[in-house]
Amino acid sequence: MSMPPDIRQRAEALVASERERFAALHPRSRQLAAEAGEHFPGGVPLHWMLDWETPFPLFVQCAEGSTVTDIDGHAYADFCLGDTGAMFGHSPAPVAKAIAEQAAKGLTAMLPSALTACVGQLLSDRFGLPFWQVTATASDANRAVVRWARALTGRRKVLVFDGCYHGQVEDAFVKLDGTVTKMKPSLLGQVVDIAENTIALPFNDLEAVEAALANEDVALILTEPALTNTAMVLPKDGYIEGLLAAARRHGTLVCIDETHTISTGPGGFTRAHGLEPDFFVLGKPVAGGLPAAVFGFTAKVEADMRRVLDTKVPGYSGIGTTLSGNMLALAAMRACLEEVMTPENYAHMTALAEKLASGLRGEVSGHGLPWTVTQIGARAELVFSSRPLENGAEASAAIDHTVERAIHLFLLNRNVLVTPFHNMTLVAPTTTQADVERLVTRFGEALSALCGRAEV
C-alpha cells in the first residue's frame, strides 16, 4: 500500500507552498496565536487543536450550521464538524434554545432535574437498552463501563481491537506487534504496563476472538462497530453478530462504542443491525456539541450492578464525576434527541454523504489513483488503499501523513474543512448540495496538483 514516490514528492512541495499561503491569508489568526501563546502552549486550549498542521492555529470567529468563519473573515464549508462533536451542525437551533432556557434556571446541582425521566425514555426508545447513566465525555463513559464489567464479572482482562479508539481510556492504548499485545509507545506518563490486562486482536477476525475468550478471563469486549479513528475499516457481514455470540458463550460482556458510528442512523449501527450488546456508549454529538455522553446497559447488568453495590464496602466507587448528568447537559440532550437527531435529518445526511462519496470516487478514478472511499451513513472517508481495509494493521499501512496533510491544507486554503487526523468527512443536516460540490471540486484540484496535472 506504499504511496507512489512522485506523489509523495509533490505532496511535500505542496505542503510547503500551502503553509506559506495559509500564513499570508490569516494575519489576524497569527496575531491571536502569538497572544494566546503567552498562556496556552501553542496558542490553543487543547493540544489536539495543533493537529491541523498549519503554521499557526486557525482562530474561529463563529460557527453556525455547516459554516465556520475565521477571525480573518474567511468562511468555510465544514466537513470536519468538530470531529463528530458538531455532527448535527454547529449550534442546532433547538439545542441552543434549550441551553439558553436551562442556563437561566441552573447549570448543575448534583441532583436530577425534571428532564431526567424524559431523557431516559428517549434513550431507551431510540437505542433499545432500558437503563442509562450520563457522563461528561465518551472517555468517561467507556472508563465507567470497563470498571463496571470487571466488578460484575470478577475478571480482570479487557479485549479491544488493534487500531481502535475509545478516547482517554487507558485500557485501550495497546497495539498488536505481530501477534503480541503491546502498550502504545505514544502514551504519555503511563507507569503500569496496560498489556498485562488488555488483549488486542485484529478486527474482523472471529477465530482470534474465540481463542482469546476460551480462557474465560475476559471481563469485557470494548469495540466500535467499525474502526473509525484510523483509515476506516468496516466490519465484515456477520462479524459483530458473531462477536456478540462468542462473548455470550464465554460469559464476557460487550460494549459497543458508537461515538463515531452514530453517523449510521438515528439509532446508530447497533439499532440499524438489530444488535443486543450489554453496554452501549455514545458521546460527542448526543447533546449537540455540549460536553456530554451516555452509557446504556441491559436489565441484567443493572441487577448485577445493584448486587455489587449492596456488597461494596463504603467509599468512593471511582465511577462518575461531579458534573456528570448536570441539568444543562440533560436539557441539551433532550433537545438533540427529540428535535435534531431525527429520521428526516439522517435521510438528508446519508443521501448527501452518498453523493459526496460518489463524487470523491469519481475524482480518484479520473486521476487514475488506486484509492477507495469508504462510507458509513453520514461519514465518508478517503483511504489510500486499492481495496476496502479489513483490520487495523492494514489501516496503519494505508496511512500517509504527508499526502493527507497536503490534501487537507489545500482544501483549507480554499475554504473547505475536513478532519485533520485522517481523511474523514461528515455531512450534517445543514450541509447543502453546493457544499458537497465545492468539496468534490476542490478535492479534484488537489489530486491534480498531486498528480502533476495542474499549477497551484
What confidence tens digit (pLDDT) does each residue in 74-98 have?
999 999 999 999 999 999 999 999 9
How far apart are the C-alpha atoms of 93 and 25, rounded to whole Å? Answer: 31
Name the average pLDDT for the chain. Answer: 96
Q: What are the C-alpha distances in Å from 178 to residues 198, 231, 397?
A: 16, 19, 14
- Helix orientation angle between 433-450 and 5-25, rounded to the nearest 10 degrees: 120
When pLDDT is averaged across residues 116-143 and rounded to a whole number, the result is 98
Containing H/E element for 107? none
When pLDDT is averaged across residues 379-387 and rounded to a whole number, the result is 97
When pLDDT is averaged across residues 98-105 and rounded to a whole number, the result is 98
Across the strands, what pairs with 65? 90
Nearest to 437 by CA among 378, 350, 358, 347: 358
Question: What confidence tier does 69 reach under pLDDT thresholds 50, 70, 90?
Answer: very high
Nearest to 203 by CA among 390, 1, 3, 439: 390
How far apart are the C-alpha atoms of 37 and 26, rounded to whole Å? Answer: 16
What was the pLDDT predicted at 445?
98
When pLDDT is averaged across residues 37-66 and rounded to a whole number, the result is 96
Query: What DSSP letter does each residue of 25-84 carry, written as one string?
Result: H-HHHHHHHHHHTTTSGGG-SSGGGGTT--SSPPPEEEEEBTEEEETTS-EEEESSGGGG
Question: What confidence tier does 421 reach under pLDDT thresholds 50, 70, 90?
Answer: confident
What was the pLDDT predicted at 453?
86
Across the strands, what pairs with 134? 294
pLDDT above 80: residue 305: yes
What was the pLDDT predicted at 2?
62
Containing H/E element for 160? strand 157-161
pLDDT tens-digit profile of 331-356?
A: 999 999 999 999 999 999 999 999 99
What was the pLDDT predicted at 5?
82
pTM of the model: 0.96
Q: Whole-angstrom distance between the N-terminal and C-terminal Cα of the chain?
A: 27
pLDDT tens-digit profile of 165-214?
A: 999 999 999 999 999 999 999 999 999 999 999 999 999 999 999 999 99
What was the pLDDT predicted at 1?
56
C-alpha cell at 97: 434554545
How far apart are the C-alpha atoms of 372 and 388, rounded to whole Å? Answer: 7
pLDDT above 70: residue 437: yes
When pLDDT is averaged across residues 62-74 and rounded to a whole number, the result is 98
When pLDDT is averaged across residues 239-251 and rounded to a whole number, the result is 98
Angle CA 399–405–406, to nearest 5: 115
Give the residue ranges of DSSP H helices in 219-378.
239-249, 268-272, 299-311, 327-335, 343-366
